Structure 1
């Protein structure tokens, strides 16, 4: 799909105030402050450990009413607006039972106001006090200590780019300057940066928190993030607590929220190798691909092919080596997966497909390489009844039904109040909710026991079912797991050789414990509709997976053909335009004319990846001779294979290709017939020998 028209681009325009409205863009990285930020490398030990994180996010004011003395009573969204710290404390056993090992709560600092915005916590006045509508400092301390006693980490939410006026001074007497984007110009007032270093360090020292989720991180210069990160790491190394019977330091994990595309996340969160900013950021580009694959994105667009799901990781090539993306499906600013299914007229909660799609999306997240975050309620397939019918309601803000806060509905935790504590209504999951919840708990157990899932080296396995079945080989040490995901609504059988997956013995299903044995050197793996499978390779071969068969033959696979001085039949430059390059017509992906109606591009792919693309000229138009794609029903490119292509009518759909390993590849397009009505030809993507 064309990402320039997607919801993630719309998020750049409309999502700036979505976390509670504070501050807008403010030109976070636009200025050049008269200040030289100190450069600090990412702590490899911290971020290797962070890959184990299974974070459970709660919207504090909307979650659980644990203490009727601390309520907001009003706010955005459809919740009771009575959530508090005691409600989170009361829920820790439940969160742990899901297999989560960390909890992140939206901001809990004193906002001293009476607006709906104050209930979100994203527009504070006192960074060093707990909001009395949420609880007390003693309850905050209890929450952290009780989480640690259960082997769980605690992550606070930091808003360091905007605040209310007249901010309460820090214990050291510092205040930030300005009411919006105050860290941007430390050359004018260096106390601003020092103030936020003190905020970030204070709660590590005072309570032993394990890190920060950083709201609208683009509002803070990337160099300043490096200094704030270093302050948190230093405070963490100087602080200890007891977890699982051992004396440990707080983790010191920081993760950025930048609701934008990968190039902006790279620039505004990660920085450069020479001057890293933050070392982890939420994977918004990946998130949109996940919901496109199993529902629709907020704009209504979807792509249910396995190729689209595979492209989740293609955007990571835009990031520097120190980047550790954090995978997720939903949060407090986005629409829940259940509501997105209904928006796309795909499935309703009374249909089995609704629950299968939740299982599938969460299975993919369980196999995600890096830390992951779950939003409260997703584990029971929560949704807002009737929300799909409200999308065109211009008064939705008045009743809390707009996209950016529809997911802020009341928390539902087994055995705890569903609304005001005094109402006496206790939540009990129905059969489908309990089944999904138990499945996610099983997935998290499997993930925790298999480092290949959260930090393993990925190799794409290409099969004849590539259009429907996502297939990963994941390796960490001697732990090898195959992850397969059927994105279609019919059963599929995948056949692979022992060499192809690097296996000398049985495959063990990590959910059912069933074994799959090879016959004549091949395995048949069956997946039901929308089913995902986690298969342990019991006896991995030393050679690993064989990605051979991706080198083609003939002129379409020849990477050494000279350019021709002639003009090709298309009459103008042709490009491989796709999600890997923002759908742009860029010189790095221009095909050269070789003569004999053949166009080719030889490109050095820096890593394994997957993306959608089409062959097209620089200007999009309805000229049917100027855009080509695979004409087979699957629209999947099988590497090293000659495939038919034809003209695209209207907007068309892109071809999906999986690149299983780094190296030089040739992209070829041969026009056999340039007739305006029946233009056709052949194509190939092949690794160069």
Structure 2
């Protein structure tokens, strides 16, 4: 089976079930294992660990593609467009640079011995020896130096753990354990439970041996939720027994674990990652739904879908209401399996590196990330707006693997760190940022420094500020103890002036710009805030009110009119569309848009109206379309989001990446309705709770 993630657009529409985290190919199909005859032990998420984890500002490097620091350790082959000579010494050489960016953690793609020189081996995602460093990356002592030097700079180190598949013929652990199963997927656990104990040993070993601070978990859906609880507990126990020195203090490794479950709707992340509150699996996972909201708003996603407004960002935050209480999402925009933001701008014909808008859109996206609630991750090279020149024009899906230009690995290009080699070390071609790259890099560093100094940004309680410009300007009030910050992001290209009262934003004094130190005064109880196109503002509320922002109840969940009628009688036939219609999506039971369950099939009510009442058993969120079985008709909200109880414009949503999202804030019966227009090209729609 081809494990390529290049068909990202189809993945968005059909559930985003992750394939090989490293890209490439294999002859087996990964599947979620069946529940074994084993009773996993349930462990609560450690509140202290995940409270601290919210401070993380992680810098991700694709090890083989990053910096060539030691010419004795090279793969010389791999997926993507890089030199394929990256190594541990290159990361060590880059630590000062990463620290200067304001990052406080590093995630390395897998560095364990893969015993080969194949392109897939270079990714590290199919290892044979989990207890040895790949000699193509360096030595155990270099790994130790990297961890120690990072800690000396106040930075955490996360390794990449592939605990759901391997290359085969795995080297036994120091305790003589091996995982059951030949390659992909691992049979988990085996009849003698060696697999679970093996991965507990792997996860603990590197904490004890090097003092690493946790794991990024590749394709976490391959591992049963209960097993994650036990592996997580093993890591926390190893961390409690291990110490090192950071910032002059003796500390334990952080024991943070974050899962990759590639899901644009969030339901799979909840079901196969976070798990139930009574028996948590993973406590933190990458926020793919937010990632797609960011790219759809400021650029396009890989499918080319974009043009969403600020409400798309608010909806992605609202969708988190469906997460269990222990969930700590990790915000990001790019990684080694996705297109770089700059290439997305070009794919959407929005801007080129020669355009000022190219750099302004980068700033807007990364300002939004800097204001994200929870830990965040920045992919190497994004801080300088890196892109693959001419990728949008040159990619040819018949030869993209040979050219290094497939969507799932094109972002694995050469690392570019000021003063270090951009290619092979022996060429001695050192990187120097141009003016635009340096300006963006300095802006990112300022954002990270500001974020570190303002807990409201990474862990503050959020209140959305509603204004007449909410479609264009995302506006949040964030508060953590005595730190209160307003974050505004203008997603349009025009200057907008927002007038708000002190009562509405919970302020009775000055607002101070955290980046420029300029102030905005209150006048007659109100503020006038000017924000330029694609500009972001971080405004400290100098004198917050005791009551906080007063935004009202935000409206009810029950709509009005015929589209809100939960009891309308059926009319015979399929109506003007002439065929059955369903809510198709990545809700539980929707099979990633593939299923057409009876519970989600529309009935025709007459007057061009179609309706179905669905019982939602709990708060949830998901992506959806109104579509026929053969996809002859596909409709969704014209804006990409579907707010409850509001009549919305509906339009044709043909092809991948055009689905809408809805947040169901509480359990109950909800009627989904649409009224098709005479041309069968759109109409109106509504989702309303039944009284």
TM over 0.5: yes
1:192-591 alignment to 2 at 5 Å? 192-261=195-264, 262-548=266-552, 550-551=554-555, 556=560
CA distance in 1, matches of 2:184, 2:202: 16
Q: CA deviation at 1:498?
A: 1.3
Aligned 8 A contact 1:126 1:167 in 2: yes
1:80 — aligned with what? 83
Deviation, 1:44, is 0.9
Q: 2-side partners of 1:501 and 1:663: how far apart? A: 30
TM-superposition CA deviations, 1:337-390 (whole Å, max 9, x none): 011111111111010011011111111111111111110000000011111113
- Specify which of 160, 171, 187 is matched with residue 163 of structure 2: 160
Aligned-partner Cα distance in 2 for 1:293–1:497? 28
For 1:134, the equivalent position in structure 2 comes to: 137
CA shift in 2, pair 1:362/1:555, >3 Å: closer
- How far apart, in 1, do the equivalents of 2:644 and 2:271 lie? 33
Which of 175, 178, 184 is matched with 2:178 structurally? 175
Residue 574 of structure 1 deviates from its aligned partner by 11
**Are the equivalent residues in 2 in contact too, given 1:317–1:606 (CA < 8 A)?**
no
2:181/2:187 contact within 8 Å kept: no
Contact 1:184–1:221 (CA<8 Å) still a contact in 2? no
Name the structure 2 match of 1:46. Answer: 49
- Residues 669, 523 of structure 1: CA spacing in aligned structure 2 closer, same or farther, 3 A cutoff? farther
Residue 420 (structure 1) shift: 1.1
CA drift at 1:611: 8.9
Alignment partners' CA distance in 2, 1:628 and 1:121: 40
The residue number in structure 1 matching 2:114 is 111
Structure 1: 5+ residue runs without aligned partners?
A: none
Q: C-alpha displacement at 1:199, in angstroms? A: 0.9
* Aligned-pair CA distance for 1:279: 0.8
Offset, 1:166: 2.2
Q: Unaligned stretches of 5+ in structure 2?
A: 1-6
**Are the aligned partners of 2:267 and 2:587 in contact in 1 as well (CA < 8 Å)?**
no
Greater shift after overlay, 266-275 or 411-420? 266-275
Partner of 1:121: 124
When normalised by structure 2's length, the TM-score is 0.86
Q: Which moved more, 1:272-281 or 1:677-686?
A: 677-686
Using a 3 Å threshold, how does the CA distance of structure 1 residues 588 and 442 change in structure 2: closer, same or farther? farther
Equivalent residues of 1:592, 1:601 under 8 A apart: no
Distance in 1, Cα, partners of 2:306 & 2:566: 40
Worse-superposed segment, 648-657 or 393-402: 648-657
The verdict on how the C-alpha distance between 1:688 and 1:465 changes in structure 2, with shifts beyond 3 A counting, is: farther
Return the offset for 1:316.
2.2
Displacement, 1:598? 13
CA RMSD after TM alignment: 4.0
* Alpha-carbon distance in structure 2 between the residues aligned to 1:473 and 1:335: 31
SS of the residue 1:547 aligns to: coil
Query: So what's the TM-score if we normalise by structure 1?
Result: 0.86
Distance in 1 of aligned mates of 2:311 and 2:597: 22
Deviation at 1:15, TM superposition (A): 3.3
Q: 1:22 to 1:275 in 2, by over 3 A?
A: farther
The whole-number CA distance in structure 2 between the counterparts of 1:542 and 1:602 is 41
SS at structure 2 position matched to 1:265: helix
- Contact kept, 8 Å, 1:577 with 1:589, in 2: the verdict is no
Q: CA deviation at 1:406?
A: 0.5
Question: Aligned equivalents of 1:369 and 1:136: distance in 2?
Answer: 37
Q: Displacement, 1:48? A: 0.9
**Aligned residue in 2 for 1:676:** 678
Q: Secondary structure at the match of 1:411?
A: coil
- The aligned counterpart of 1:143 is 146
**Which residue in the other structure is 2:3 paired with?**
none
Q: What is the distance in 2 between the residues matched to 1:55 and 1:678? A: 48
The 3 A distance-change label for structure 1 pair 592 and 502 is farther
Match of 2:560, SS? Answer: helix
Three-state SS of the structure 1 residue aligned to 2:357 is helix
Q: Is the 8 A contact 2:162 2:219 kept in 1?
A: yes
SS in 2 for 1:417: coil
Q: CA deviation at 1:317?
A: 3.1
Q: How many residues align?
A: 673
C-alpha change, 1:421 and 1:490, in structure 2 (3 Å) is: same
**Cα distance change, pair 523–130 in 1 and its aligned pair in 2 (3 A):** same
Q: Classify 1:662/1:482 alpha carbon distance in 2 versus 1 (closer, same or farther; 3 Å).
A: farther
